Amino acid sequence: MKTSKKKNINFILGISVISVMALFILCGKILPLRDPNAIDASLKFASPSLKHPFGCDNFGREILSRVMEGSFSTFLIALGTVFIGTFFGIIIGALTGYFGGVVDEVLMRINDAIFAFPSILLALLFISLLGPGTYQVVIALGIAFIPSFARIVRGEFLKNRNMDYVKCAKLLGASDLRIMVIHILPNTLKVLLNSVLIGFNNAVLAEASMSFLGIGVQPPDPSLGRMLSEAQAYLFKAPNYALFPGLAIILMVLGFGLLSDSFEK
């Protein structure tokens, strides 16, 4: 009873934090703020004020609108990454887990090999092949995320394929595809949802790290990781420059982290 109450609080907190972030991103899209890339030398390192709540950066660009825009692009990149990872992860995991045999053995060993690299390192490798840029980051991170999803889905399919309800469906003449998609897949969703949320967090952090390294979103477009890396040089002169993008990352990760906690069994 006590734990379920705690999970409930996690759920409410998680949803609230995500809603705040969503509202924040939405405001950036709707409100007539300054262009996040507009440079104004007279506003260089302007302190937070009513007119510029988060202050301005080394080019006199408004930090508030840049954080809003940056959060949006980080969110989109994380979403795309998780989508690619989940989509291909489900296909690979379902096929290998359901059919087993040689295909499973080969694909899972490749999976293991990819898994052995940190996903950031792997994404760096793909970036070096594809070149830097927003879409390239989504593809690189997406590919790097496939193995972990494939592994989870495979485990679930492996567990389910020997269960009597699958045999039942087979006896009734259901095709393999029908069994995989209609019968087994819904039973993996609970576990999958959790890993999607955690994967989303990892994707946010991975995107931020890659932009921090300068191979993600390209300047002058804002990105949370990129802003942090630019703010590094002026940490003591203008701490607000690093503070707000950092907060945005923390809130985004915290919200989805709390939500995934509340779904955990």
Q: Which residues bind other proteins (CB under 8 A)?
A: 105, 163-165, 167-174, 182-183, 186-187, 189
**Kind and range of the H or E run holding 179:** none
* CB of 36 vs other proteins, minimal distance in Å: 45
* CB of 108 vs other proteins, minimal distance in Å: 11
Please identify which residue in the block is written with the tokens 């499973």.
Answer: 104
Nearer to other proteins, 131 or 186 (CB): 186
Contact 259, 201 (CB under 8 A): no
* CB of 174 vs other proteins, minimal distance in Å: 5
* CB of 112 vs other proteins, minimal distance in Å: 13
H-state helical runs in 117-184: 119-130, 134-161, 164-171, 176-178
Contact 64, 52 (CB under 8 A): yes
Nearer to other proteins, 2 or 265 (CB): 265
Nearer to other proteins, 29 or 167 (CB): 167
Largest Cα–Cα distance of the chain, in whole Å? 77
Task: Report the DSSP beta bridge partners of residue 56.
Answer: 62
Please identify which residue in the block is written with the tokens 């087979």.
Answer: 170
Task: Compute the distance between CA of residue 211 and CA of residue 225 in angstroms, rounded to an integer.
Answer: 5
Task: Compute the distance between CA of residue 113 and CA of residue 91 in angstroms, rounded to an integer.
Answer: 19
* CB of 157 vs other proteins, minimal distance in Å: 14
Nearer to other proteins, 73 or 160 (CB): 160
Nearer to other proteins, 9 or 189 (CB): 189
